[in-house]
Amino acid sequence: MINPWSSASLDYEKLTRQFGIKPFTELLGELENPHLLMSRGIIFGHRDYGRIIKALREKKDFAVVSGMMPSGNMHIGHKMIVDQLIWYQKNGADIYIPIADMESYSARGIDFESSRKLAITEYITNYLALGLDFKASNVRVYLQSKNRTVQDLAYELAKKVNFNEMKAIYGFNGSTNIAHLYVPLIQVADILHPQLEEFGGPKATVVPVGPDQDPHIRLTRDIADRFKSTYDFVAPSSTYHRFITGLTGGKMSSSQPKTAIFLSDTPEDAEKKVMTGKTGGRESLKIQKELGGQPEECVIYEMLLYHLLENDEKLQEIHDNCKNGTMMCGECKSMTRDMIRVFFEKFSKKREKAAKIADKVLVEY
């Protein structure tokens, strides 16, 4: 199956219309303190996010579910998810973080112990270092393989899903192993289980994802509906964020190190990598002074937009100076290099501290 959202260069507006995802901008005015990823349009779409706004406004219980797949190293693009979780945590959500070790095992052949170790040494360590407070009572991070509640719910939900449906959504065929076939149901249960009575009953739930996950969100929403009379599930809401561009111009990917700045990189490595980033500069300084640069096609600008520069006015100034040809790429890259060095100098110290406590946060069900 070809997932239309998995390509490196996407027409987000067109795909959004095609799949019935609503533009996030229509809700921005209703949020008191939207996250920068929201106000800057990086989170571009949603399904039923009005429920989350209502819960925020009325200070009602709501949940956020965001899984981590223990395979490969986290790159700077993954920071986006953690930033959102921190925002939700500050805004009173219950945070559920399933570690997808069952999927790693069935789809990628990674054994459970390796998944557990990688989740702790890489993912939980980074989440902690980025600022998610695992000591707070509203965060639960668990291994799917150890969560009997999720496994039991998945089995029950599987009764109302058939093979043709799974084939159409995930492209499974006759040679797909049965464990892999079953894993999407575990993920559906990950998303719906915060609504079981033991976790406070039915409630609005949001899943922040990249748009390539939308087929899975739609399946989860359908299944929630099929079990409405049993559990009174509220169909989960979702938000969709843009993918950060890789240093070479395609998608940033952990499996292609030249495209990515990893959160485990040293400040020196991160600096060097930024300097290799593809810019939206022109063929010569002369042409750039005449025509201006193209920040919308620039990896350096994206780094500032997504991660490095919180000040909107300063960002606008860089954008404008690029567009009107008064700022050249050399100067802009050097400034970004300095910012990334400062970020990584602080972050690597936080990572060292986080690594010492990361193995203590897993929740046993």
Positions in the binding site for ligand SF4 (CB under 6 A): 279-281, 293-295, 298, 300-301, 322, 327, 329, 332-333
Rounded to 5°, angle at Cα 71 from 149 and 36: 85
Structure-token match 């406070």, residue found: 200
Least Å distance, CB 312 to ligand SF4, is 16
Least Å distance, CB 318 to ligand SF4, is 6
Least Å distance, CB 267 to ligand SF4, is 20
Contact yes or no for 217/238 (Cβ under 8 A): yes
For strands 22-23 and 43-47, give the pairing. Answer: antiparallel
What's the rounded Cα separation, in Å, for the pair 292 and 328?
9
Least Å distance, CB 28 to ligand SF4, is 24
Name 305's Cβ contacts closer than 8 Å, sequence gap at least 6: 40, 42, 315
307 burial type by CB count under 10 A (0-12 exposed, 13-18 middle, 19+ buried): buried
Looking at the Cβ atoms of 92 and 330, the one nearer to ligand SF4 is 330
Least Å distance, CB 303 to ligand SF4, is 10
What's the rounded Cα separation, in Å, for the pair 335 and 300?
10
Sign of the C-alpha dihedral, residues 275, 132, 60, 214?
Answer: positive
Structure-token match 């009997």, residue found: 148
Least Å distance, CB 292 to ligand SF4, is 8
What's the rounded Cα separation, in Å, for the pair 348 and 42?
26
For strands 22-23 and 62-65, give the pairing. Answer: unpaired
Looking at the Cβ atoms of 301 and 344, the one nearer to ligand SF4 is 301
> Any idea what DSSP says for residue 144?
G
Least Å distance, CB 324 to ligand SF4, is 10
Looking at the Cβ atoms of 76 and 332, the one nearer to ligand SF4 is 332
Looking at the Cβ atoms of 106 and 279, the one nearer to ligand SF4 is 279
Looking at the Cβ atoms of 193 and 333, the one nearer to ligand SF4 is 333
What's the rounded Cα separation, in Å, for the pair 170 and 165?
9
Looking at the Cβ atoms of 183 and 332, the one nearer to ligand SF4 is 332
The single-letter code of the amino acid at 15 is L
Looking at the Cβ atoms of 99 and 252, the one nearer to ligand SF4 is 252
